[in-house]
Chain A
Amino acid sequence: EAGVVQSPRYKIIEKKQPVAFWCNPISGHNTLYWYRQNLGQGPELLIRYENEEAVDDSQLPKDRFSAERLKGVDSTLKIQPAELGDSAVYLCASSRGKVGGELFFGEGSRLTVL
């Protein structure tokens, strides 16, 4: 079974530039998560999807961040414009959506904003 796939693994951009991250979850997983992990900290939830619906986006900075999950499979997270403080690892995870179920993570997309 293929794991969660994220791309790109690394991205370096200058501030005010746009950037996009892509995630392909495990087949059959209806719940998809985007987390942001700052250096030396734990993952912080940005947005959670159940199928196509964003059910929790309360921590997503909506002035510059956007996300979509078309057809309830792949997802894209976009930042426009990027700021220096956006430098972090962006983790995508998926799960079957069962009570207490395990989250499966991708390897993350490491963003550096100069």
Chain B
Amino acid sequence: QKEVEQDPGPLSVPEGAIVSLNCTYSNSAFQYFMWYRQYSRKGPELLMYTYSSGNKEDGRFTAQVDKSSKYISLFIRDSQPSDSATYLCAIHKGRNDMRFGAGTRLTVKP
């Protein structure tokens, strides 16, 4: 079993739609959860960061962690064509050990 599982998609939505991206993880001891965004032919960039359980909101983006289910989600409201990218969930296993999901490729159509 992989430490973090993510449906690779691809996912295609119309502009303005609400997007839901999800990952599951294997170890309940993990406490730091991130979402990275990767545009084509670029390196990943940190989008959202959550510690432990609960929600975190930043503009149109909401990150959610459910530790009881070992499930993490990213919601994008009012999606824009500029949101078209690959979204990678990531977990911090320990101090400097980061592991990534497979990434979900999102296309937002005008």
A108 (CB) vs chain B CBs: closest residue = B43
Q: Mark B1-33, 1 if CB is under 8 A from A, else 0.
A: 000001010000000000000000000000110
CA–CA, A43 to B101, complex, Å? Answer: 8
A35 (CB) vs chain B CBs: closest residue = B100
Which of B45-53, B55-63, B66-74 lies on the face that meets chain A? B45-53
A103 (CB) vs chain B CBs: closest residue = B98
Q: How many residues of B are in contact with the other chain, CB < 8 A? A: 25
Q: Mark A26-57, 1 if CB is under 8 A from B, else 0.
A: 00000101010000111111001010000110
Answer whether A42 and B101 are a contact pair too, CB < 8 Å, given A100-B49, A105-B44. yes
Q: Nearest Cβ distance between residue B12 and chain A, in whole angstroms?
A: 15
Interface hub of B42, B43, B45 (most chain A Cβ within 10 A) = B43
Flag if B100 contacts A105 (CB, 8 Å).
Answer: no
State whether the Cβ of B109 lies closer than 8 Å to any Cβ in chain A: no
State whether the Cβ of A24 lies closer than 8 Å to any Cβ in chain B: no
State whether the Cβ of A88 lies closer than 8 Å to any Cβ in chain B: no
Interface hub of A4, A93, A102 (most chain B Cβ within 10 A) = A102
